[in-house]
Structure 1
């Protein structure tokens, strides 16, 4: 029981330290963005706000504040600033995806606006439809299709690989603690269960990695 309490306390301390680091770095990036904006450096401010948004922690106030500031800059009348802000929103949202997609609405809005802005550019991309290669609506659809593509590993594959890691590591730990007695001999049932966990874990890990 005492060992469990120590482990829980240690894990809590580590996670707490990481959370403090994330919030601190996020707040510092927000301050950098505000300073850049005060000097008239809108693009530099956008880069700093994107950094703040990338320091993601659920419920951390600096994340929502960073997105709000990026949305404000996305309303600029300057096309370069507008496009840079939407791209920063998209980049931050995609970079912080794990088992779920944070700020999914912001990501969808960014994809939509980037496609619209790119379509407004006469050189905004080639459209395969020869009947209307220059139609703005066709160009916008072309861009939206490409923005919607996700080349990252699937969530299922990542979860499977993570479970596989946990399985074979847990099996190895169980084998060391319960599958071998004080004389160094295998204890049949715990050793067999540990071996099964190790094998299944490695299989899941390999399957997840190969399908990532």
Structure 2
């Protein structure tokens, strides 16, 4: 079985934030070395290539360092996910994200979820990303990431933030995005009409 990993296009966002902390002096190299493993340091000291895969464990440890340096908490990681979505859009790598924003007048939640599943499957080499039909009155749209035990909790909140940003820019306001982990290997992301 392959090692769970994240695509360089997503990982580089966390590394950029880490480099900013180091450059500002809010994090010292010594403190970073105390928190990360030798293999993590080797990766972050190298060039992060957009098309390469990086261990999800390294990503998780980097997110933990970032979260702690910014006071911790869920909201920091949600905001990181929002910034990562914006960076990906600006990079022009994921053209389907550009098109979805340009065509936002359709306000099609199913298309949004389809896009999130496509991007998720592209950025992570593990997990089964699937739509879950809402048995209610269509107020909630959700998707699940199954076989997601490798996804760090900080990564779950970053996914939530990514989806929040996409919802806001593709569908518009009036939606709430939440995530939960009902089992260690399942993450559920819900988009609810306010």
Which structure is richer in relative contact order (CA contacts within 8 A, separation 6 or more)?
A: 2
**Same-fold call, TM > 0.5?**
no
Greater fraction of residues in helix = 1
TM-score by length of 2: 0.25
Greater fraction of residues in strand = 2
TM-score by length of 1: 0.24
